[in-house]
Amino acid sequence: MMKNLEDKIKLQRLLNLGTDLNRIHDPDALMERILKEARDFCSADAGSIYIVEKNYLVISYIQNNTLKKNKVVYKERHVPIDNLSIAGYCAKTGQIVILNDVSDINLSLPFRFNSNFDEMTGYRTKSILSIPMKGNQDRVIGVLQIINPLDKSKTPLKFSEEDTKTLHLFAGIAAVALQKAQLTKSIILKMIQMAELHDPSETGAHVHRVSAYSTELYIAWALKNNIPNEIIDRNKDILKLVAMVHDIGKVAISDLILKKPGKLTDEEFEIMKKHTIFGAKMFEEENSEFDQAAREVILNHHERWDGKGYPGIISSPGINKNKKPAGKKGKEIPLFGRIVSIADVFDALSSKRCYKDPWPQEKVINFLKENSGKMFDPELIEIFLNNINTMNSITQKFR
């Protein structure tokens, strides 16, 4: 009776997780959640997720409780899909691999345990469970690898038959959610590539930087304001993607304006302003949290804290030619719009454009300080500048 009850609880947990995972739009955030939940099912100390890219597996996410205070560096990020490695064999054959002692692998098997990671970090891998993540048409899209299930005294255990069955089912649910998230991001990146062909300032590097700046700023703001972790996780996932499409409406603006090397005329600038409305129209159905947030960011990232921004409060897709809407001000501007505004301006000033050289950082910081309470939310500016080292590391990452 007790066993049946435990099975029902696990099954219900899996069903609930499937629903939760399908709400996550960003593949990186999704992999973090998948790996955490998989480890929790069997109290595992560590694990990793490999994603299939052509003929290789790419180590996309690593978690390790024992090494969490250390910097984990893994140089062998690309693993061939062949029979020579554990993960490669799992991906190639589509079979689950269970090794309860990696130092005693059956000699009839073609693979051996690669101890390079253990030697480099001092970690001790005892047991490994590798499960293929199969998506559409039973195609392997990745490998979920769980390492060292532990008892209460932190002693490595063997993987039980129950662990294997549960994680196999979980890997199937996770693969479907991951494919959906990858498709969403792929569509967004194609939209950005289309904009990049049209607008020389809207590059892939620019939108990735604005996305990363915005996400870090939101997390810092949320922690400062004691926002619950589950809300932070959900919002940072959405913001990371919607920040990428903040200027997608520029595809509707003439090249003569977008690529003009000099200052725009007043008439040209009025036309340029409409990119916020053109972009928002692409998401006006608001069928999901993503659509709603995208519309919010696109419409509001050029509003100003003092109310002198644009496009203001509008009730229709176009601007009334006889009366311009007043700009939103202060906290009338949605939070995501206020955040992306800072990230976008910081990156624009710090980057080379066809009409300007990059500003020195001291000058950029002074500009942000001088416009705190004018263009920008003063609380967010303070948080942004307190995290300037994090922002600089993002700049280096997405050069």
Angle between helices 388-397 and 204-224 (to 10 degrees): 160
Decide if domain 199-397 falls under CATH 1.10.3210.10. Answer: yes
Nearest Cα to Cα of residue 87 among 39, 21, 140: 140
Nearest Cα to Cα of residue 21 among 36, 12, 33: 33
Cα(300)–Cα(358) distance, rounded to whole angstroms? 25
pLDDT above 80 for 359: yes
Q: What angle do CA 276, 282, 286 make, to 5 degrees?
A: 105
pLDDT above 70 for 305: yes
Span 105-123, pLDDT tens digits? 999 999 999 998 898 888 9
Task: Using pLDDT thresholds of 50, 70 and 90, give the confidence band for residue 7.
Answer: low
Report pLDDT for 149.
Answer: 94
Report pLDDT for 321.
Answer: 52
pLDDT above 50 for 319: no
Please state the CATH superfamily assignment of the domain spanning residues 2-180 in this structure.
GAF domain (3.30.450.40)
SS3 30: helix
Helix (H) or strand (E) holding 56: strand 56-64
Whether the model clears a pTM of 0.85, i.e. scores above it, the answer is no
Higher pLDDT, 11 or 349: 349
Q: How far is CA 359 from CA 262, 340, 362, 390, in A?
A: 17, 19, 8, 19
Mean pLDDT over 305-334 rounds to 77
Span 287-297, pLDDT tens digits? 678 889 999 99
Report pLDDT for 236.
Answer: 92
Cα(131)–Cα(98) distance, rounded to whole angstroms? 9
The domain locations on the chain are 2-180, 199-397
Report pLDDT for 201.
Answer: 59
Helix (H) or strand (E) holding 333: none
Cα(146)–Cα(63) distance, rounded to whole angstroms? 10
Report pLDDT for 10.
Answer: 64
2-180 and 199-397, same CATH topology: no
SS3 62: strand
Query: Which tokens sit at 61?
Result: 């996410």
Span 16-72, pLDDT tens digits? 777 788 788 888 888 888 999 999 988 999 999 999 998 899 998 889 998 874 444
Judge whether 241 and 185 are in contact, CB under 8 Å.
Answer: yes
CA–chain centroid gap for 272, Å, is 29
Q: Looking at the annotation, which residues are catalytic?
A: 250
Share of the chain above pLDDT 70, in %: 89
Cα(213)–Cα(383) distance, rounded to whole angstroms? 12
